[in-house]
Amino acid sequence: LAQADTTSRVKRAHFRLPGVMGKFIKAGRVVVMLNGRYAGKKAIVVKTFDDGSKGRPFSHALVAGVDRAPLKVTRRMSKKKISKRSKVKPFVKYANYNHIMPTRYQIPAEIAPASLCTDQQMDTADGRVEAKKFVKKLLEEKFVAPPADKSG
């Protein structure tokens, strides 16, 4: 009787099935590019393709990021110099999940990540240029007038 009583009190270990992970790369997540031309640059996940697509049969994401970040400005600088130094050079591309590292940061909810770039825009060169212009405008606007609180 005593032996049966002790076995019932043994704590069961919680376990997860191997290979089953939570999805943490979602739209709005800030990631760091690891490979290629934009290695080390920060980007925002616009859309995820966990199961791949016909043209890209691997897990990947559409990302929009900052190729060249704004430079430091001081009070002494002229308006012209400040406007030049406040410029952002963006990029938009598809990135394999193996080549991006998610961070703990996410962009605020009021900036809809899906609005940054679409699949249709990525199909044509003109569409990509248009998407980059929109991302550039948005990032420069956020840089010049940052939000008051830290959450966004």
Q: What is the pLDDT of residues 32-73, one digit of tens each?
A: 999 999 999 999 999 999 888 888 899 999 999 999 999 999
Q: How far apart are CA 36 and CA 23, in angstroms?
A: 24
Hey, is 82 helix, strand or coil? helix
CA distance 14 to 8: 16
Could you tell me the CA-to-CA distances from 12 to 4, 8, 18, 33 in Å, in that order?
A: 16, 10, 18, 40
The pLDDT value recorded for residue 148 is 73
Which two tokens mark 87? 């410029």
Query: Looking at residue 102, what is its pLDDT?
Result: 94
Q: What single string gives the DSSP state of each residue in 34-78?
A: -SGGGTT-EEEEEEEETT--SS--S-EEEEEEEEEPPPP--TTS-
- CA 46/CA 44 separation, integer angstroms: 6
List of the chain residues with pLDDT < 70:
1-22, 149-152
pTM for the model stands at 0.77
